[in-house]
Structure 1
Amino acid sequence: MTAVFVFVPGSNSSSFHWAPLLRELTLRGHRALAVDLPGHGFAASFSTAYQAPQDSAALAAAPSALAGATHADAVAHVVDVVRRAGEHGPVVLVGHSRGGMAVTAVANAVPELLHRVVHLSAWCCVDLTPAGYMAEPEYASSALNDLGAGLLAGDPARLGALRMNWRTADPELLATLKTAMLADGTDAEFLAALNTLEPDEGLDAGDDRLDPAAWATLPHTYVRLTADRSIPVELQDRFIREADALLPDNPFDVRTLTTSHLGFLVRPEQAAALLAELA
Structure 2
Amino acid sequence: MQPTFVLVHGAFANSFSFAPLQAELGLLGHRSVAVDLPGHGFAATYPAAYQAPQDLEGLATAPGAIKGVTLADNVAHLIGILERAKRNGPVVLLSHSRGGLTATVTANQRPDLIDRLVYVSAWAPVDLDVGAYYAEPEMATVDAAGLAAAMVGNPVELGLLRVNFRTADPGALAFYKEAFLADGTDDEFRVFLNTFQPDENLDTGTPDDRAQADTWGRIPKTYVRLADDTSIPLAMQDRMIREGDALNPDNPYDVRTLPGSHLKWLVDPAAAARVLAELAALLPTEA
Counterpart code for 1:277: E
Shift in Å at residue 146 of structure 1?
4.0
Matched residue, 1:256 = 257
Counterpart Cα distance in 1 of 2:178 and 2:196: 16
Tell me, yes or no, if the aligned pair for 2:108 and 2:211 is still in contact at 8 Å. Answer: yes
Counterpart Cα distance in 1 of 2:150 and 2:50: 13
Question: Which digits, 9 at most, give the CA deviation of each residue in 1:61-113, with x for residues without a partner?
Answer: 21110111111000100011000011111110000000000000011110111
Runs of 4+ that moved beyond 3 A: none
- Residues matched between the structures, number: 278
Counterpart code for 2:58: A
Counterpart code for 1:58: G
Matched residue, 2:169 = 170
Shift in Å at residue 148 of structure 1?
4.3
Counterpart code for 1:170: D
Residues 30, 193 of structure 1: CA spacing in aligned structure 2 closer, same or farther, 3 A cutoff? Answer: same
Matched residue, 2:182 = 183
- SS of 1:236's partner is helix
- SS of 1:245's partner is helix
Matched residue, 2:219 = 218
Matched residue, 2:86 = 86
Counterpart Cα distance in 1 of 2:200 and 2:234: 24
Q: Percent identity among equivalent residues?
A: 56
Tell me, yes or no, if the aligned pair for 2:211 and 2:217 is still in contact at 8 Å. Answer: no
Counterpart code for 1:218: I
Q: TM-score, normalized by length of structure 1?
A: 0.97
1:74 to 2:74 alignment:
yes
Counterpart Cα distance in 1 of 2:121 and 2:216: 19
Matched residue, 1:26 = 26
Matched residue, 1:106 = 106
Identify unmatched segments of 5+ residues in structure 1: none
Counterpart Cα distance in 2 of 1:111 and 1:135: 31
Q: TM-score, normalized by length of structure 2?
A: 0.95
- SS of 2:167's partner is coil
In angstroms, what is the RMSD of aligned CA positions? 1.0
Counterpart Cα distance in 1 of 2:268 and 2:239: 26
Matched residue, 2:39 = 39
1:272 to 2:277 alignment:
no
Worse-matched range after superposition: 216-225 or 90-99: 216-225
